[in-house]
Structure 1
Amino acid sequence: MDALSGVFDFSDYGALLSLVRNTLWAGLLLGLVGGLVGVFVVSRDLPFAVHGISELSFAGGAAALLLGVDVVTGSLVGSVLAATLFGVLGARARDHNSAVGVLMPFGLGLGVLFLSLYEGRASNKFGLLTGQVVAVADVQLAALAGIAVVVLAALAVLWRPLLFASLDADVAQARGVPVGLLAPAFTLVLGLAVAMSVQVVGALLVLALLVTPAAAAVRVSSSPVVVPLLSVAFATTAMVGGTLVALGTTIPISPFVTTISFLIYLACRLVARLRRPADRPAAPAVPSPAPEPATP
């Protein structure tokens, strides 16, 4: 109990809210971007790519921290580089997951190397991995907002053809949709979204924003309109709710974000399970055989 009392302290909670204003705005941006991008991450089966990009984004942020330059820029460079490499290597090897699996430990190793050489505050090192609740400065928030605008504009252009290609790539290609160009284009968009998320929730737990909300949404709906709305709502709830809870603790923000996101996913699975018997069509009645005519 004494250990828990040292972790949770909500006595000055009202005064602390002003310290996380930028983080709350960043959470809203991440919920919007992560929820929308996550729809295609799930439909195109790219969760492993999200984790791989986050490792190289972490390496870029750690390098920027070591060199004393902007961490957002470093993470962005790492994410874009990862997205480009995954697109090229995946296309040549015809096995996207293998390319991700090769580059992911390389990025993580580079990030650990850069952090071990960094002699600054330990909280800066820890924040790149697990996030920090009050780490979003005005300049960083402006950078995140700029990236969000680029991602949303790209999604507005790519949404319809990307949705078509995600549902049935062969039919989409037969209809003239440039399927070959959509894949690398979306990978770059995904890289930008990962770079945004790493700045707040850390590199290790990006999946809680870019995969879990959308995975929960598809459990309770198959509508192309409802699923993105639910995904954004779930991601925003996890992000903002995790921030508000973490504010009264000494624990980083990411465990709360991931816990809320996971609980939402479990609730959606439960709802899907409860709805399944009611939605399942009843078996057609088998007519009883007609009686045989009596023999004289």
Structure 2
Amino acid sequence: MPLSADVIPPSWSWNIVADFQQMWSYPFMVNAFRAGAIVAVVAAVTGWFVVLRRQTFAAHTVSAVAFPGAAGAVLLGFGAAYGYFTLCVAAALVIAAVRGGGDGEESALTGTVQAFLLACGFLFIALYRGLLEGPQAILFGTFLGITTTQVTVLLCVGIAVLAVLALIGRPLLFASVDPRVAAARGVPVRALSVVFLVLLGAATAEASQITGTLLVFALMVMPAATARAVTARPAVSLALAVLFSLTAIWMGLIAAYYAPYPLGFFVTSFAFSGYVLTLGVRALHGSLSSRGVAA
């Protein structure tokens, strides 16, 4: 299997069935597809609310601090997953705590903390001299070495996140669309915001283990943004976001299997291509509609 650019990757043939059978003969690839499916669903559902609530900056901050969290955990002798979840959830709580201030104050504080923690992450990498392939895997993601235990952990976290989102989904949707009216009708807008940010932290920590900390933000936002560009109907756009996310991750896994390049690059490229294609189709449709009206 390809571990670096110097290793010759497997070759693709025109026998698709045989190619998939050969690829799935490796247990780590089976685990990668399972983990990818879990991450895709959780990231898409969470990201749909992120886009709806216009909290992309918060999502970017949470994803950025996953890097120092993972690096710090490795430095202390723990697994990177512990660092992902600890610092992502902690960052979400910090953002929730400062949301009472003005937008400028909130942005300045979160941006400052984000920059400081990123610097700490690179310091942790430098201090832990035994870390060789670690920085690339943490930053850009990898499908190598995913174990059944990790898949189980991702599944448990994913079920918990989706269960809570299902429980608070209707009031969260109301509070996201019109928070003032929701608050006037007794919806606990502030509490819902805090709970959602914690869920965002958990979902980000989960997705970072597949896409890497630098690119998880793209997976969290682009499929949801693409779906909302297709339709404004909540149920349909949410289903489309999950479909686009699954497609990006599974196509990314296939491409990364046959090419010695980071998984996160392929996942992000497919997700971005879908977004650009959707905008192009919308623009073309709008142009044709305008010409039809003019005629």
Please state if 1:36 is matched with 2:37: no
Match of 1:150 in 2: 160
For 1:244, the equivalent position in structure 2 comes to: 254
Q: Please list, as runs of the form range in 1=range in 2, the aligned pairs for 1:29-68 lying within 5 A after superposition.
A: 29-68=38-77
**How far does residue 135 in structure 1 lie from its aligned partner after superposition?**
3.4
Q: Within 5 A, what are the aligned runs for 1:160-199?
A: 160-199=170-209
* Secondary structure of the corresponding residue to residue 65 of structure 2: helix
Aligned partners of 1:135 and 1:200 also within 8 Å: no
- Does the Cα contact within 8 Å between 1:50 and 1:206 map onto a contact in 2? no
Q: For residues 10-50 of structure 1, what are the alpha-carbon distances to aligned partners after superposition, in whole Å with 9 as ceiling and x for unaligned?
A: 26965443231111111101111111111111111111211
Q: Which one has the largest radius of gyration?
A: 1
Residues 1:268 and 2:269 are matched in the alignment: no
How far apart are 1:144 and its partner, in Å?
Answer: 1.0
Question: What residue in structure 2 maps to residue 10 of structure 1?
Answer: 11
Please tell me the residue identity of whatever aligns with 1:115.
I
CA distance in structure 1 between the partners assigned to 2:70 and 2:31 by the alignment: 20
Superposed CA RMSD in Å reads: 2.3
Tell me, what secondary structure is at the counterpart of 2:146? Answer: coil
TM-score, length-normalised on structure 1? 0.88
Taking the aligned partners of 2:218 and 2:226, their CA distance within structure 1 comes to 11
In structure 1, distance between residues paired with 2:79 and 2:119: 21
Please state whether the residue corresponding to 2:144 is helix, strand or coil. Answer: coil
Residue 128 of structure 1: SS of its match in structure 2?
A: helix
User: In the alignment, what sits opposite 2:16?
Assistant: none
- Cα distance in 1 for partners of 2:123, 2:150 equals 24
- Residue aligning to 1:131: 141
Number of matched residues?
Answer: 282
Residue 94 of structure 2 is matched in structure 1 by: 85
Deviation at 1:97, TM superposition (A): 2.6
CA change 1:11–1:121 in 2 (3 A) is farther
Shift in alpha-carbon separation, 1:59–1:272, aligned structure 2, 3 A: same
Aligned partner letter, 1:137: T
Unpaired runs of at least 5, structure 1: 285-296
- Structure 1 position 245, deviation (Å): 0.8
2:230 alignment counterpart: 220
CA distance in 1 between partners of 2:292 and 2:254 (Å) = 46
1:93, distance to aligned residue in structure 2 (A): 4.4
Kindly state the Cα deviation for residue 77 of structure 1 after the two structures are TM-superposed.
0.2
Contact 1:214–1:228 (CA<8 Å) still a contact in 2? yes
Long gaps (5+) in structure 2: 14-18
**In structure 2, what is the equivalent of residue 70 of structure 1?**
79
CA contact (8 A) 1:35 1:231 kept: yes
Q: CA deviation at 1:178?
A: 0.7
CA distances 1:220-278 after superposition (whole Å, capped 9, x unpaired) = 10001111000000111111110111011111101100100011101111222233356
CA distance in 1, matches of 2:32, 2:251: 11
- 1:168 CA drift (Å): 0.7
Residues 5 and 102 (structure 1 numbering): CA distance in 2 closer, same or farther, change over 3 Å?
closer
